[in-house]
Structure 1
Amino acid sequence: MTTEVDLAVPLRIADLRAARDPVKIVIGPQLRDRVAAGRTFLSEVLGDDRAVYGATTGFGALVGYAGRADLRDQADNTLAHLGAGQGPELDAEVVRATLLLRAGSLARGASGVSPHVIDALAAMLATTFVPAVPRLGSVGASGDLIPLGAAAQALRGRGHAYLDGVRLPAAEALARAGLEPLPLDGRDALALVNGTSLTTAATALALEEVRAAHRGVQVLTCLLADLLGSDPQFLDARLLQAYGHPGAIGVGVHMRRISAGLVPSGKRPLQEPYSIRCSPQLLGAAEDALRYVDAVIAADLGGVTDNPLFFPDEDLVVHGGNFFGQPAAFAADLLSMVVAQVGNLAERQLDLLVDPNRNGGLPPMLAAGPGQQHGLQGVQLAATALITEIRRDTMPASMQSVPTNLHNQDVIPLGTQAALRALDQARLLHLIVGSLAVGLRQAAYVGARTPTASGCAEILAALAAAVPVIDPDRPLSDDVRRAAEVVADFSVRLS
């Protein structure tokens, strides 16, 4: 069944995720009237010879010069000079989420955009059409100009696009999808590109993936503690309440629910390594950070990122900087930090699990026949490579401001780079979680005790059903991905 998305209410991350497939966009009469009123007001303003950036002026540093007299010619001028993107093309789900978010922002009625622009975006999102958008080129300051420019050009039948996953000239893709090339004037073109929709969409998608991995590591930490026979007092409610941090308190509640019934073996040290003992503090701090990102994304999903904005009821055209993506830039950089530390925790837990000096006497590398077999050795090497890839690339993008555009953009947030980087890293974190899950499943086979907590027994049973034992050795890359999905599904059911 096709998902419906109503633009009259703020978008949700679930809507952005759903847009990877065809979705039905609902445009109610009140929304249509609101957008039409903004467009009518723009016409009145232009008729009064009032200055409107991008409609009567040049762009960026050239704002002091007059724009082109013909408004359709102004649209060509707007988009042509932005055709400077480079690098690989963005994933289809990111592009479609971006255009849904752009439609949501324009539907607020403050952009002076033609109603048919929103109709065209809705029609596109009901098909499998995806503009071909280069990854590199946005600094996230006047919005995501270059990537959104490529998307707008594809909607006009210029450049390239994908239909059913096949790359085609955009005009051909439009025709096959039953879509008409989108006519634009200068204001319409600027409204399509002058927002942070790519930055926000990528950050939102990354947030969803990081949250899933964060929940998964909570589950797997409990299973690790149970298989080893650890004392669960590190999750004690009184302990975490005294700590005082809301995230740690909440994580403790969740982890106690999973580990309820865990009976310590009495064979472990009084105090476990930090990768177990301090897990609620680490994961709790991550939870507090994720709640901040939640708030930023919620604001962006319901906001208007454009310039100028039009307020017909007050006879105002207001020029400013709502296209400046600093909130999402900070949020995405924070996500990157969370990914690095949560991923580091999971990788260190895997290291503990394969080490016979710390895993309670299980065989090295959890090999069923050490020497003749190698168990988790390859998986651990890959997990180490994944976490170092993440850590190597955690320098905050939002502190890399470089003046550009004749110093018109003398400070820039670089949120697009932060957001796409966070999404890349979130996908790597997913694989690290899967690596730990495969290790835990194998530990149960090579001698770890039977879980005493019902929640831990349940996740182990789910993993055992999906991942065969490693005996003899075999390639495990598919198992890692499958285990990661099992953990993600289990975590959703518990949340």
Structure 2
Amino acid sequence: MLATEKVVDLSVPLSGPDLVRACGPLTVQVGPAVRSGVERGRRFLHEVLREEDRPVYGATTGFGALVGFAGRADEADQCDNTLAHLGAGQGPDLPPDIVRAALLVRAWSLAQGASGVSAHVVDGLAAMFATTFVPAVPRYGSVGASGDLIPLAYAAQALRGRGTAYLDGRRMPAAQALADAGLVPLALDGRDALALVNGTSLTTAALALALAGVRASLRASAALTCLLVDLLGADPQFLDPRLIAAYAHPGAAAVAADMRRTLAGASPSGQRALQEPYSIRCSPQLLGAAEDALRYVDGVVAADLRSVSDNPLFFPADDAVVHGGNFFGQPAAFAADVLAMVTAQLGNLVERQLDLLVDPTRNGGLPPMLAAGPGRQHGLQGVQLATTALVAEIRRAAVPAGMQSLPTNLHNQDVVPFGTQAALRAHEMAGLLRLLCGSLALGLRQAPHVGARRPTAPGCAAVLDALTEAVPPVDPDRPLDGDVRTAAEVIAAMTS
């Protein structure tokens, strides 16, 4: 195991930052109260299973549409029966940070004691997080109902030493990865296996990580807009607190206040038109609406992170086994669709601001494409082409997924939310938005090199200085793919 100062206590609800930290080694604490609750739920399960007239889905029955048939009598066989048929995923492996975050969400849900799992399952998951072990999980297969069955089945199999996993970033047989990490393969019965897969933990994890990425880009976009305003010498009156108060939307008020702080001390050049294009003048309204929407997504993620997502649930105090649908990921699906719309409009804003910056008819006379020697050099021309492609990809991906229901499983799952698709897509879009912010940041770094004024607001000057230190001017032309990523990292660090 690897020592780490990062600690997550399963007795308290998870947070979004917990999931971000789960990408690396992490100490997951399973305290006495947590273990006691898990063991109490497990004892109750065994009491129920001794009663012949109390069926328990997945423990005494088949799965899904085959619930009317008896399961396997042997508990180990019932585990195999659960997981083997779910080995039908396809596509590339999911990013390791999503997989580890999903397993942290799953560990927390199981640790609440309502799933009837063995205590060693929670202990085994906790032990995994102290290492760099990551199950290899295929991208496609979940419909986000009855849990993320197929992807979580691959994770469960890897924890048993079957299939494939990563250790220290290297892909290898899961049994070897477990051994090299000093981990013991999990022994599971049917209830353990079903509890590991019968929840929307992958959906929740992907949504939470996507939210973190989009929120970071929202902050970056606000800072970059301020730098654009200052470099152009535009009048920041569009941020006037009286104007924004009359607009009456809380997100706009919050964003505009932050932008005013960044632009404090800025001096308009007096050479711009009375009113800037909407990509500048309406930025607090656009960014504020994005902030309001992200606050809604915040609420969904927070609820998901304190949700027990499984079926059935066991309530020993009430002598009750309750079958239902807590594995149905519709809240996350709707939230991920909202996140996708926010991402698309933020991408539109950033791309339009870069287009303004490279256009000599609108940028105050700076050279076209911010080229140091137009014709002999091409400056940001290639970067602008790439941003157009990125925006097109984001727009294509922004089609809502949460209402694309298709019946499956012999109409047992006759309505499904497709939350997994929505959340994974939102995560991918967040990565593209980060690159768009990096592209605009690179253009803003280049602008003073080809004649733009020095920022007059100390806050804007600090952003420019950080970019200037990390990225050299584009003179002469060079490949700029790495510079875009570097600029994205700088602006994210400046605004975190």
Q: TM-score range by the shorter chain?
A: over 0.9
Q: Given the alignment, which residue of 164, 170, 180 partners 2:184?
A: 180
Give the AA of the match of 1:474: R
Once the two structures are overlaid, the 10-residue window that deviates more, 271-280 or 471-480, is: 471-480
Q: CA deviation at 1:163?
A: 1.3
Q: CA deviation at 1:478?
A: 1.0
Q: CA deviation at 1:13?
A: 1.4
Q: 1: distance between equivalents of 2:188 and 2:479?
A: 53
- Runs of 4 or more above 2 Å deviation: none
Alignment map for 1:172-251 (pairs within 5 Å): 172-251=176-255
Q: CA deviation at 1:86?
A: 0.4
Q: Given the alignment, which residue of 470, 477, 482 partners 2:474?
A: 470
Give the AA of the match of 2:47: E
Q: CA deviation at 1:472?
A: 1.0
Partner of 1:277: 281
Give the AA of the match of 1:6: D
CA deviations 1:203-259 (Å, max 9, x no partner) are 100110101000000000000011111111111111111111111111111111101
Q: Given the alignment, which residue of 356, 362, 366 partners 1:352?
A: 356
Percent of counterpart pairs with the same letter?
73
CA deviations 1:272-310 (Å, max 9, x no partner) are 000000000100010011000000001111110000111
Q: CA deviation at 1:180?
A: 1.4
Q: 1: distance between equivalents of 2:16 and 2:75?
A: 35
Give the AA of the match of 1:481: R
Q: CA deviation at 1:47?
A: 1.2
Q: Given the alignment, which residue of 38, 42, 58 partners 1:39?
A: 42
Q: Given the alignment, which residue of 18, 32, 36 partners 2:21?
A: 18
Q: 1: distance between equivalents of 2:259 and 2:171?
A: 46
Q: 2: distance between equivalents of 1:176 and 1:469?
A: 46
User: Does 2:14 align with 1:6?
Assistant: no
Partner of 1:422: 426
User: Does 2:101 align with 1:82?
Assistant: no
Q: Given the alignment, which residue of 325, 328, 339 partners 1:335?
A: 339
User: Does 2:308 align with 1:324?
Assistant: no
Q: 2: distance between equivalents of 1:290 and 1:418?
A: 15
Q: 2: distance between equivalents of 1:378 and 1:11?
A: 42
Alignment map for 1:24-173 (pairs within 5 Å): 24-49=27-52, 50-173=54-177
> Mind listing any 5+ residue stretches in structure 1 that lack a counterpart?
none
2:392 alignment partner, SS class: helix
Q: 2: distance between equivalents of 1:266 and 1:318?
A: 69
Q: Given the alignment, which residue of 313, 316, 321 partners 2:317?
A: 313
Q: 2: distance between equivalents of 1:491 and 1:24?
A: 28
> Mind listing any 5+ residue stretches in structure 2 that lack a counterpart?
none
Partner of 2:437: 433
User: Does 2:300 align with 1:299?
Assistant: no
Q: CA deviation at 1:69?
A: 1.2
C-alpha RMSD over aligned residues: 0.8
Partner of 1:413: 417
Q: 2: distance between equivalents of 1:433 and 1:337?
A: 17
User: Does 2:384 align with 1:380?
Assistant: yes
TM-score normalised by structure 1 residue count:
0.98
Partner of 1:481: 485
Q: 2: distance between equivalents of 1:12 and 1:238?
A: 36
CA deviations 1:31-52 (Å, max 9, x no partner) are 1101111111111111122111
1:141 alignment partner, SS class: coil
Q: CA deviation at 1:2?
A: 3.3
Q: 1: distance between equivalents of 2:490 and 2:180?
A: 38
CA deviations 1:404-451 (Å, max 9, x no partner) are 001110000001111111111100110100000010011111111121
Q: 1: distance between equivalents of 2:332 and 2:225?
A: 30
TM-score normalised by structure 2 residue count:
0.98
